[in-house]
């Protein structure tokens, strides 16, 4: 867990006696929601009895959790996010596997239900972490809703979401919301410096203040620098979203400067005349839409070339 989320954890810990059976951790990308959820999960599974307000790190529960093998913990996420893609079994040449899914599917939720309905192995909680919860497809969401409506005793659901508005309202209403916000700039900067990040202030600005995002950008500084200096069509799918994001943030910075404000994302674009502010804002909105679409572009090269063409000429 990251230091800026300690307060949220402490406020929750003080009420573990009456812990809600479902929490929805939501907030911007890169604020450490997932790490906070994992910390809560480990705390619930720790068998040392709250020594000093955090999981002890040494008991069986903590060690299994750290090894990813705790029998009372399940993590639901899209296959595409899983650390190691599942390979077809040996001797099954016919086993065709498509791309790993970007959705959480109903089979995963059914498996989870079966797990939750079996008693706890360690006599404590059984914890299910769903991340990102908005990646559940409609069937999966409806199946999860059943579990939330009639939770088995001792089951705790931790839902993590960057886009809670995309969840079923009935799912949202069954969870206690736990907002995770962007930390104060100084806190984030200190943390980034502690991670040895170069140009921390710049990448933090580009990340809109989200420290983990800034860390990720700093690790890709060369690529992003090149892209920001000279946006070029993407050659593969993964680059399309990166390009749309760069174009969106540059357009917003131009609009900020046109209105006489400091460019928020520090993309280094030239100042823009006030007359063109609207055109850049409209383009930024369009790029925001493309960022959402960029997971399924038909042809990455064509799609990104089109984005570049749409840019206002000023
Ligand atoms: Zn422990």
pLDDT at 60 over 80: yes
What's the whole-number mean pLDDT along residues 155-162? 96
Distance 154 CA to ligand 1 centre (A): 18
Residue 40's closest CA among 117, 131, 172? 131
Residue 85 has pLDDT above 90, yes or no: no
Structure confidence at residue 236 (pLDDT): 83
Task: Say how many Å lie between the CA of residue 267 and the centre of ligand 1.
Answer: 45
Residue 101 pLDDT grade (very low, low, confident, very high; cuts 50, 70, 90): confident
How far, in Å, from the CA of 17 to the mean position of ligand 1?
17
Distance 50 CA to ligand 1 centre (A): 8
Cα–Cα distance for residue pair 140/292, rounded to 1 Å: 21
Average pLDDT, the chain: 89
94 is written with which tokens?
């016919």
Tokens of 238: 């993964």
Cα 194 to Cα 189: distance, rounded to the nearest angstrom: 8
Average of per-residue pLDDT across 149-161? 93
Has residue 296 got a pLDDT over 80?
Answer: no
Q: Which SS3 state, helix, strand or coil, does residue 121 take? A: coil
Q: What is the structure's pLDDT at 84?
A: 55
pLDDT at residue number 19: 81
Measure 58 CA to ligand 1 centroid, in angstroms.
Answer: 5
User: Does the pLDDT value for residue 92 go beyond 70?
Assistant: no
63 CA distance to ligand 1 middle (Å): 7
Q: How confident is the model at residue 87 (pLDDT cuts 50, 70, 90)?
A: low
The CATH topology of domain 3-179 is Rossmann fold (3.40.50)
Instruction: Give the DSSP per-residue string, 92-103.
Output: -TT----SPPSS
Using CA atoms, how far apart are residues 32 and 86, in angstroms rounded to an integer? 27
- Ligand 1 centre and the CA of 230: distance in Å? 51
Cα 148 to middle of ligand 1, angstroms: 27
User: In terms of pLDDT, which residue wins out, 288 or 297?
Assistant: 288
Judged by average pLDDT, the poorest of 72-86, 114-128, 138-152, 216-230 is: 72-86
Does 25 score more than 80 pLDDT?
Answer: yes
- What's the gap in Å between 77 CA and the centre of ligand 1? 25
In the predicted model, what is the mean pLDDT of residues 40-62?
90
Q: Report whether 267 contacts 248 (CB < 8 A).
A: no
Residue 29's pLDDT is what?
93
Q: Which of 21-35, 107-121, 127-141, 170-184 has the lowest mean pLDDT?
A: 107-121
- HSE, CB side, 13 Å, CA atoms: give it for residue 8: 25
Task: List 156's β-bridge partners, or say none.
Answer: 127
Query: Rounded to the nearest whole angstrom, what is the distance from the C-alpha of residue 181 to the centroid of ligand 1?
Result: 28
Distance, CA 83 to ligand 1 centroid (Å)? 24
Separation of 159 CA from ligand 1 center, angstroms? Answer: 22
The alpha carbon of 16 and the centre of ligand 1 are apart by a number of angstroms equal to 16
Which residues of the chain form CATH 3.40.50.300? 3-179
Q: What is the Å distance from ligand 1's center to 53 Cα?
A: 11
Quick check: 154 pLDDT over 60?
Answer: yes
Residue 81 or residue 152, greater confidence: 152
How far away, in angstroms, is 23 Cα from ligand 1 center?
21
Q: Are 142 and 169 in contact (CB under 8 A)?
A: no
18: pLDDT strictly greater than 90: no
Going from the C-alpha of 68 to that of each of 63, 72, 83, 207, the distances in angstroms are 9, 11, 12, 30
Q: What is the pLDDT of residue 16?
A: 63
Per-residue pLDDT, averaged over 120-148, amounts to: 91
What separation in Å is there between the alpha carbon of 54 and the centre of ligand 1? 8
pLDDT of 162 reads 93
CA–centroid distance, 18 to ligand 1, in Å, is: 20
As a whole number, mean pLDDT of residues 302-308 equals 88
Ligand 1 centroid to Cα of residue 217, in Å, is 34
**Predicted structure pTM score:** 0.87
56 compared with 89, residue with greater pLDDT = 56
Length of the chain: 314
Compute the distance from residue 1 Cα to the ligand 1 centre, in Å.
Answer: 15
- Average pLDDT, integer, range 265-286: 92
Which of 12, 14, 36 is CA-nearest to residue 181? 36
Average pLDDT of span 65-78: 94
Tell me the range of 9-18, 112-121, 250-259 where mean pLDDT is highest. Answer: 250-259
pLDDT greater than 60 at residue 144:
yes
Averaged over 65-75, what is the pLDDT?
Answer: 95
| Between 300 and 57, the higher pLDDT residue | 57
- How much distance in Å is there from the Cα of 200 to the middle of ligand 1? 34
Q: How far is CA 256 from CA 223, 249, 272, in A?
A: 24, 10, 9
């Amino acid at each position: 867990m990251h230091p800026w989320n300690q307060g949220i954890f402490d406020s929750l810990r003080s009420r573990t006696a009456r812990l809600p059976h479902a929490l929805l951790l939501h907030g911007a990308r890169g604020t450490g929601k997932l790490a906070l959820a994992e910390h809560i999960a480990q705390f619930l599974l720790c068998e040392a009895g709250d020594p000093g307000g955090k999981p002890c790190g040494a008991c069986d529960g903590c060690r299994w959790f750290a090894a990813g093998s705790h029998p009372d913990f399940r993590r639901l996420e899209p296959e595409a996010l899983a650390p190691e893609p599942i390979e077809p079994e040996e001797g099954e040449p016919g086993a065709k596997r498509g791309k790993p899914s970007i959705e959480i599917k109903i089979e995963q939720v059914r498996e989870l239900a079966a797990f939750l309905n079996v008693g706890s192995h360690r006599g404590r909680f059984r914890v299910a972490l769903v991340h990102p919860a908005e990646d559940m497809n409609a069937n999966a969401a409806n199946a999860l809703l059943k579990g939330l409506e009639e939770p088995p005793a001792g089951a705790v659901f931790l839902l993590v979401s960057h886009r809670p508005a995309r969840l079923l309202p009935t799912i949202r209403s069954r969870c206690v919301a736990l907002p995770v916000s962007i930390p104060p700039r100084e806190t984030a900067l200190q943390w980034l410096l502690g991670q040895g990040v170069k140009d921390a202030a710049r990448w933090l600005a580009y990340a809109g203040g989200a420290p983990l995002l800034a860390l990720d950008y700093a690790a890709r500084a060369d690529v992003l620098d090149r892209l920001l200096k000279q946006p070029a069509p993407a050659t593969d799918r993964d680059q399309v979203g990166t390009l749309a994001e760069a174009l969106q943030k540059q357009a917003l910075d131009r609009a900020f400067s046109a209105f006489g404000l400091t460019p928020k994302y520090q993309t280094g674009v030239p100042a823009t005349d006030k007359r063109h502010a609207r055109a850049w804002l409209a383009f930024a909105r369009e790029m925001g839409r493309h960022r959402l679409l960029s997971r399924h572009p038909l042809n990455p090269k064509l799609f990104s070339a089109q984005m570049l063409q749409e840019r206002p000429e000023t």
